[in-house]
Amino acid sequence: MAALNASPRPLPPAALVQQLVEFATLYRSAAGTMEFNLCLVREALGGLRIQVSAFGNRRVGLTIKNGRGQPSAIGEEEVAGLVAALRKRDVEVVDVVMG
């Protein structure tokens, strides 16, 4: 119930998002889940790619990939922080795949 009464966080400025995100896609997978990909520019965390799969009822899965041929840009500690931040927003992360 607290999530319903919480004030939404302000969105980052569009100019900042345009500097960090190279492209984003939104689609429905063969399994019927809605998925979106955020592909960050090379200078932002080494071109990290984050795919979010929505399973309904505020449940998501994360697939995190490094840019082509890039060293790992994110570790388990950073992923745990991302999962914790989503939990604070009442979003359950049911699957994490690092690739």
Determine the pLDDT at residue 96: 92
Determine the pLDDT at residue 76: 84
How many CA atoms, within 13 angstroms, populate the side-chain half-sphere of residue 69?
0
Domain that holds residue 72: 2-98
Best CA proximity match to 93, nearest among 40, 55, 65: 55
Query: What domain count does the chain have?
Result: 1
CA distance 77 to 98: 13
Q: What is the pLDDT of residues 45-92, one digit of tens each?
A: 666 777 888 888 888 888 888 766 666 667 788 888 888 888 888 889
Averaged pLDDT score across all residues of the chain: 76
